[in-house]
Amino acid sequence: MTPPEAPEDGIAAQGDTPPAVSVCLEVLKTRSDFLRAARARRQGTQAMMVQARRRTDTEDVPAHVIRVGFTCSKKVGNAVARNRAKRRLREVARLILPTHGKPGWDYVLIGRKDATAARPFDQLQGDLRYALKKLHGTKG
């Protein structure tokens, strides 16, 4: 299935790559990856906690890839509330991390009780941008 942004004939013009194909985001799946991120840098915002860790050269992951994981504890609510919060975190990460995240880093986004699901989406995006700026030490 081709992404909705892809051209009808399947051939993109030079410099006109579909955004859904050009993003190098991978999802963290193993517990050990989450635990390594938990021991690294973290930055809290009103709607989420962001943990970030620069991968070492010895890891078997390409250097240009940004990896991201999502989690919500039972404090966030029942399964429906946790899944809603994680869906919102996934969408925010899909929009913000390709431009503001750094290749070679792992990020874990942790949902907060009553905040992640209820916060307006533009403010949720701003929270992630703010956390990434603080974690990477950039100004502006």
Instruction: Read off the pLDDT of residues 76-124 as tens digits, 9 standing for 90 and up.
Output: 999 999 999 999 999 999 999 999 999 999 999 999 998 998 999 999 9
What is the mean pLDDT of the segment spanning 73-78?
93
Residue range 24-136, CATH number:
3.30.230.10
Query: What pLDDT, on a 0 to 100 scale, did the predictor assign at position 80?
Result: 93
Burial of 57 (C-beta count, 10 Å sphere; 0-12/13-18/19+) = exposed
**What's the pLDDT tens digit per position in 15-59?**
554 454 445 788 999 999 999 999 999 999 999 999 999 998 888
Query: What pLDDT, on a 0 to 100 scale, did the predictor assign at position 18?
Result: 44
> In the chain, where are the structural domains located?
24-136
pLDDT at 62 over 80: yes
Q: Model-level pTM?
A: 0.80
Query: What pLDDT, on a 0 to 100 scale, did the predictor assign at position 135?
Result: 93
Strands laid side by side in the 25-27 sheet = 25-27, 66-71, 105-111, 48-54, 41-44
